[in-house]
Amino acid sequence: MLIRRPPGYTIKENAVTPRAAWLRRREILAGFAAAGGTLALPRAGATKSLPAMSNYPPLKAAKTAYSPSNPAAPWEAVTGYNNYYEFGTGKSDPAKKAHRLTTAPWTVSIEGEAEKTGTFALEDLIDFNALEERIYRHRCVEAWSMVIPWVGVPLAQVLQKFAPNSRARYVQFFTKWARKEMPGTLWPVLKWPYREGLRIDEAMNPLAFLAVGVYGRILPNQNGAPLRLVVPWKYGYKSIKSIDRIVFTQDQPETSWNMSNAREYGFYSNVNPHVDHPRWSQASERVIGPQTGFRGALARRDTQMFNGYADAVASLYTGMDLKKNH
Ligand SMILES: Nc1nc2c(c(=O)[nH]1)N[C@H]1C(S)=C(S)[C@@H](COP(=O)(O)O)O[C@H]1N2
Ligand SMILES: [Mo]
């Protein structure tokens, strides 16, 4: 078997993921409690080397105008350095374990304030003949970033199929909770199933995107196959993976990170260099980029308001106090 040396950026994990380190402590404590004081860790999955890009079926996608000037992070970083806590809190856990998730067939339940509700096949939600490529900046709340070339469709296009009614002021998303396939959910690290939400006008903004692919290929499981949200002006945790339930609501919906710690993770979670996380600065970020990805020396750059997408989204928040509504 091919033994793959971890790329340089994994070495600095603790330096760049203060949240994960903190959560791992909680996870261990929770494990202690659940097992009556005996630390019971799940059996680690077989360590798999990262599959090559060519292992994933290609998708046809039209290029669109939504592209930042900076080049994309390497495939190995995009698919090997992930947050997907259902498979563990380590950055390499998803790449090692998410292959366990069954992603086909896949259905999505549509509920709440809409004309059309029910259970729909993935293919009924997504027109695989009308895919777009969107090269977006991705900014994690942990203060690292990557540029990622997603493939998918605008979120609004999908939501409109279900004709949300006038009471639909928000939309909530849930990740499939496949208990047997998701070893990380043995612990109450977060409220499972992972849930997220947007105000309806945010969801209908042309930048909000549903991805089914990355790098012109079918989405690897660690990136949220078969269907994940991408909200590039918000911290990465809003971009919920492996969605199997969408609920149109009248009231602001619960979100897993906000339920876990409302002071640290607000409902809006817009990327904002002027509002620090209570435990670290958000003024700058480490860039996992094409040149830096494998050397460990990550470039640092200033974080941009709304992650650089202010022109497209700032008007959504006119008159709002973004410190209060963080
Ligand atoms: N279901 C689920 N979705 C999730 C997460 C998660 O733990 N579970 N992590 C979030 C966080 S913190 C980030 S930064 C992004 C990472 O997406 P990527 O691994 O595709 O880069 O996924 C988000 N979506
Ligand atoms: Mo994140």
Q: Please write the tens of the pLDDT for every residue from 75-132.
A: 999 999 999 999 999 999 999 999 999 999 999 999 999 999 999 999 999 999 999 9
Provide CB contacts within 8 A for 175, sequence distance 6+.
Answer: 86, 193, 194, 195, 240, 241, 242, 243, 244
Give the ligand whose atoms come closest to the C-alpha of residue 244. Answer: 1
CA–centroid distance, residue 129 to ligand 1 (Å): 26
Query: Does residue 172 have a pLDDT over 80?
Result: yes
Q: Quote the DSSP letter at residue 265.
A: S
Structural domain includes residue 6: no
- Of all protein residues, the one whose alpha carbon is nearest to atom 14 of ligand 1 is 236
Structural domain includes residue 1: no
CA distance linking residue 13 with residue 134, whole number of Å:
27
**Region of poorest pLDDT, from 69-83, 165-179, 244-258, 280-294:** 280-294
With contact defined as beta carbons under 8 Å apart, do 195 and 254 qualify? yes
Query: Does residue 46 have a pLDDT over 70?
Result: no
**Given this model, what pLDDT does residue 52 score?**
92
CA–centroid distance, residue 101 to ligand 1 (Å): 15
Alpha-carbon 125 to chain mean position: 19
Q: What is the pTM of this model?
A: 0.88
Ligand 1 atom, smallest distance to 193 CA: 1
Residue with tokens 């602001």: 252
**Given this model, what pLDDT does residue 290 score?**
76
Structural domain includes residue 47: yes
CA distance linking residue 218 with residue 95, whole number of Å:
15
Ligand 1 atom, smallest distance to 94 CA: 19
CA distance linking residue 270 with residue 33, whole number of Å:
35
Structural domain includes residue 3: no
Give the ligand whose atoms come closest to the C-alpha of residue 189. Answer: 1
Considering its fold, how many domains does the chain have in total?
1
Query: Does residue 70 have a pLDDT over 70?
Result: yes
Question: Ligand 1: which residues within 6 Å by Cβ?
Answer: 82-86, 138, 140, 175, 194, 223-224, 236-237, 239-241
- Pairing, β 118-121 against β 284-287: unpaired
Structural domain includes residue 2: no
With contact defined as beta carbons under 8 Å apart, do 288 and 142 qualify? no
CA–centroid distance, residue 184 to ligand 2 (Å): 16
Structural domain includes residue 326: no
Over residues 204-259, the pLDDT tens digits come to 999 999 999 999 999 999 999 999 999 999 999 999 999 999 999 999 999 999 99
Structural domain of 27: 13-317
> Which of 181, 190, 227, 239 has most ligand 1 atoms within 8 Å of its beta carbon, as the pocket-test mutant?
239
**Given this model, what pLDDT does residue 66 score?**
82
Please state, rounded to an integer, the average pLDDT across all residues of the chain: 87
Q: CATH number for the domain including 102? A: 3.90.420.10
